Every structure is written in structure tokens, then in C-alpha cells.
Chains A and B, each alone.
Chain A
């Protein structure tokens, strides 16, 4: 079969007067890990709910492994594993009871259930906590349990909505290594995240903002789309420096990064950086060093959003 794991075409969704998704098109190959990256309110959850047949789109189609989500939601629900953004297991049920419940919902045969449960508990390292109530687990363990529940019926496509938001860095890393081994076993994964560092772990990503895909491809190729340049400036008074630059540029172009102030000069019409530094020195700012930096995904994203907003402003004013 040449079907793609996920094929989304021209998806549109409005809530009353606000548009949540405006013509979203993308596809995920079988066995691929695809990341939807975007800030809160970008439309990620809406998109995922449409994919998982929980929500009907206004326009457009989605097919999972060739099956239409709107025409045959029942078959769709059998082949996907879905982990919602919020922890949505039963806190008063134990780890084991939660797993059992979801296995039964999907009618996993007893023998397979026992085998799968053992397997999932082992790789999520939740085995010692089988008898603990889900509500008493730590944040990271809760997410691993939620993932295990989503995997209990051996889905072919795994859909994860911000699984690592609010999870500590160690658990996050562990979570990602679990995803990696899942991918190796052939599961197609669609994951959303607001974290840029996680995006780089995906095979391909789509940057989504205000219900629109701004860029798509491997993390590398998305970064390569970046047209501006990144500079860093350091000095004794970083706060003063950043304040001064923020007055010259837009505030989202300037940020303090540990020991330096980073400037994102994305438009060619902006002032030349050496002129800027000169001006800064002239107005009494102390600058020890400045230099060019390699752009990161986040810089690309901010630039793309800024460009998009500028274009929107122009269409509104014209």
C-alpha cells in the first residue's frame, strides 16, 4: 500500500468568528515522526482533534492510512493511539486498572493484554508502581502512563498533543527516548510541542501559527529558510543593553540569553548591526564584544511570524 500514514488536505475550522485553522495541508509518511510546532493557540489541538475524529472540520479532508476520518471514524479510532494534552486518566484508578480499562475499551484479548501490559510497564519503567493510584504519580510518570494507555491496543499511528509540556527535563528526555524506540518499531507518530529543542528530534516538522502552516520540512531545511542574521552582544549590563536595543528594534527581536543579548535582524531594511553597535556605544552603553551566531529554529519561527504579521498588517491597511 502506498497510503500515507496521515494525509490532510485543505482543512478549515472556525469557532464562531475566529478562524482556528485556515486551509491546512500536510502529510506524514509511514514510520515517520512528524512534529507540529507552534505557540499556544496556534490551532494544534484543534487539528489533532479533527484528526482523531473528535471534531468535524468545516472544510477539507483527512485520511489516516487511506481511511477517511469523517466517513469511517470507527475504523480510525481502532488504528490510532491518542494522548490528549491534559492528563486524562482516572486518578482514583491504579496504574494497572487504568491500563486494563483502556485495553478492555479496545477489546484487546486477555492473552495479548497481559503480554502488552508487561511490555509497556517495563519500557515505561512503571512496573514498581502498578498498584499506585494514577493521581499519586509524578508528572513524568503520569505522562508515561498516559502514553502506555494510548499504546495498549498497538495502534499504527500515535497522536500526541503536547506530551511533554510541564514535565521535568529528565523525564522529557526519557519520554523522547521511548518515542524513538516506538518509531523504530514502525509506528507513525504525530506530535505537537511548543518546545523548539524537541522539534529537532522529529524527522520533519511544520511550523504552525494562527491556524496556518508557515514552514514545513526537516528542522535543518526550515532553519535554512531563515533569511536574516543573528548577532550577539555582550557587556557588563545585559539588562540595560537589552532595554536599549528593544527601543531601537521590535521587542521580539531582542532577548537575553545567559551571558549575552541576542539580536535577530531578520529584515534587510533594518539597520546594519555595526551601525547599531556604534549608536549604542555613542549613547553610553558598554559593549565588550559582538559577533554573528548561527540561527536556530526559534529564530526562524519568530522571523516567519513577524513577516506574516507584517504582511497581514499591509493587507489590512491597503
Chain B
């Protein structure tokens, strides 16, 4: 049965949206701007890292090694030298972020055992970069070792880590899905809480409440238009992230979008909950941002892995919808996962979402206080 009271509410809400094109533009532009800022600023990729090479060996072997490094897009060799005492000055003058020292016996040991040590010194004041430099160099020399091994003789055992699904460690592939998760929950909660707060502020809510309307009708009448709007924004930023930041889409769009709908619904429920406790648009806005943005950024695994959090925070992270959505969206886009692999996250997110929705409908009262 079509409920005849929800339809006019939806129609009315769309008139509001249409009559306020400025807010609509902001709603579409804000996610884009945020995506650009996050997509480029939270850039953990390192390219053209300036390094120095201290070659104490100066043999064909060492020159071959230097050539390998020079060919890599990650490193830019700014200086060659052979006095190790200069090393510290290079760091203090911030000329390099890493120095590779090729020991004097490099050629000899390389020729003898096809296995040689080199020294790598990185700048510990920039811990993130230091780790990454280390990883890149490891990756680089692994290739080198393998190539030596194939045309050489004897086995070569060396434990090396390898990044799956994001082999280049392109951070945008990791960050963009995270931004989608944060933006959706933020916009969804913001839209609903602010529009309901506006109706309270202008007194129109009072006028609606004296009609024979039921709570679920008000809730759905508000939720459906903003579900449509938020979902449009979701598709917009997903497609944008896919095309602009080249985030791969290995899984199925249909599956991801289906879950976007449910995730957005959860966001709207949070907005609805917020609207039951606030009276003004400003408070609604602040509360929505604080409640959705901070936990989604800090505790969802977007920035810090959940597994390395203290136990109480791990528990908290489980009730944050973004935690589960992040697993789903990264799984679908980067790993090509489907419902079969993702069902635990899907179930967890559904539970969290349903919890918020039911709580919102229950808390929404048809009385004034």
C-alpha cells in the first residue's frame, strides 16, 4: 500500500532542495574539494626521493648497483662521494633523505657469494618517509638479487615482504575509498539533522506534528529524499575517485552501490538521532560533524589500523559504521571481493545500521518538550 502521507513529505522536501541551488552546489562541491585535499595531501607515496651514494668500492659491481638505483623512479641521486665523513653534513643540510653506503669489499663479496651487504642510512626525524625508503630499497634490491640469481648459479634465500593489491603503495588507492566512507556518513548525518532542526527552529515541525501523522511517516518522509540525494553524491564521488585517482574497481559496482545505500541509510539514522536532541541548525551541524567525522577518521581504520588500537578503542570501533563500510569498499574495489568474502563486515554493518535506525524511530517523538 502506498502511504499517502509520506509522498507529500517527500515532494515537499524535493521542492526545498530545488529551491536552494546554492546548498546543492555546496553539497556536490564539498566532497570533491575534500577528496582533492585528502587525495593529494595525505600522500604517502614517495617519488624522486633525494639520496646520496657513498661508493667506497668503485668497481663494475658497485657501478652496476648504482645504475639500478638510478633507473628507479623513486630515487634521485643528488650526490656521489667517497668520504663517509660527509654523510652527516648531507643530512643536517637536508640535502638527502637517505644515504646508501657501498662498502669497500662489495665487489669482492658479491663476486664470491653473490650476496653482499650495503648500508642504508635514513633520516629518522621523518619516520614515515624513513620506513618507506627502507621498503622501496628492499623492493629494488630484491629485483636486483633475483635478476642476478636467474643468470647466476646457486639458490638465493632472502626474506622479502611484498605488498599485495596495492603493489606500488599508491596511497590514493587506499585513501579515496576511506574518504568516500567518511564523506557519506558525514553528509548523510548532516543533511538529516540540519533539515529537521530547521523545521524545529522555524516552527514548521509543530505544524506537522498537529496533523494525524505517525512517527515513522515523518522519519521516512525525511529520510527518503536525503537517501536519494546522498546516494547521488556517493555515486558521484565514487566515479570521480575511480576516474581521477584511478582507484581500481576489481569487484562489482552493483554490490558496492547496494551497500552504499545501506550505509547512507545508517548515516541518515544517525542524523535523525542527533535531531532528536538538538534544537537549532547550528548545534545540529556541529554535533553531526563531531560525531561522524572524528570517529570515522580516527577509529575506523582509515588512518590507524584497528588491530593496533588499545582494546577498548577496538570495541568502540566496532560500533562505528565506517569501520565496516571501509572493509567492504576497500575489499570490493581493491581486492575484487564479493558477498562471499565480505559477509562478516556486511553482517556487522547491517547490525550497526539497523540499531541506529530503530533507535532513531523510537526516539523520534510526536510531542514537544
Contacts and interface: CB of A to CB of B under 8 A. Distances in A.
B368 interface: yes
B245 to A, nearest CB: 37
Contacts of B210: 52-54, 77, 80, 82
B105 to A, nearest CB: 81
A269 B366 CA distance: 52
A77 B207 contact: no
A89 interface: yes
B47 interface: no
Interface string B342-363: 0000000000000000000000
A77 B212 contact: yes
Given A55-B368, A93-B15, A105-B211, 5 more contacts: A54-B209, A88-B206, A88-B207, A93-B16, A100-B8
B211 A90 contact: no
Contact of B16 (A52, A88, A92, A100): A92
A77 B211 contact: yes
Interface in B45-77: none
Given A55-B367, A56-B367, A90 B212 contact: no
Interface in A14-62: 49, 52-56
> For B4, B5, B210, which residue has the most chain A Cβ atoms within 10 angstroms?
B210
A100 B12 CA distance: 10
A78 B214 CA distance: 13
B367 A104 contact: no
Contacts of A129: none
B262 to A, nearest CB: 29
26 contacts: A54-B210, A54-B367, A54-B368, A73-B366, A77-B210, A77-B211, A82-B210, A84-B203, A84-B206, A86-B202, A86-B203, A88-B206, A89-B204, A89-B207, A90-B16, A90-B202, A91-B202, A92-B16, A93-B12, A93-B15, A97-B12, A101-B11, A104-B8, A105-B208, A105-B213, A107-B5
Contacts of A73: 366
Interface of A: 49, 52-56, 73-74, 77-78, 80, 82, 84, 86-93, 97, 100-102, 104-107, 149
A88 B15 CA distance: 17
Contacts of A91: 202
Q: Is the interface of B mostly helix, strand, loop or mixed?
A: helix
Interface string B272-292: 000000000000000000000
A66 B34 CA distance: 59
A102 B16 contact: no
B212 A74 contact: yes
Interface in B5-27: 5, 7-9, 11-12, 15-16, 19-20
A67 to B, nearest CB: 13
Q: Which 7 A-B pairs have the closest CB atoms?
A: A88-B203, A104-B8, A105-B211, A86-B203, A92-B19, A77-B212, A82-B210
Nearest to A100: B8
B368 A82 contact: no
A87 B203 contact: yes
Given A55-B368, A78-B212, A88 B204 contact: yes
A84 B200 CA distance: 13
Contact of B20 (A84, A87, A92): A92
B203 A97 contact: no
Nearest to B210: A82
A87 B206 CA distance: 11
Nearest to B214: A74
A303 B19 CA distance: 52
A167 B16 CA distance: 27
Contacts of A53: 210, 367
Interface in B189-241: 202-204, 206-213
Contacts of A105: 5, 8-9, 208, 211, 213
Contacts of A102: 207, 211
Contacts of B206: 54, 84, 88
Given A80-B210, A82-B210, A105-B5, A90 B203 contact: no
Nearest to B16: A92
B153 to A, nearest CB: 81
A104 to B, nearest CB: 3
Contacts of B16: 90, 92-93
A317 B7 CA distance: 61
A86 B15 CA distance: 22
A100 B5 CA distance: 12
Contacts of B11: 101
Nearest to B8: A104
A106 B204 contact: no
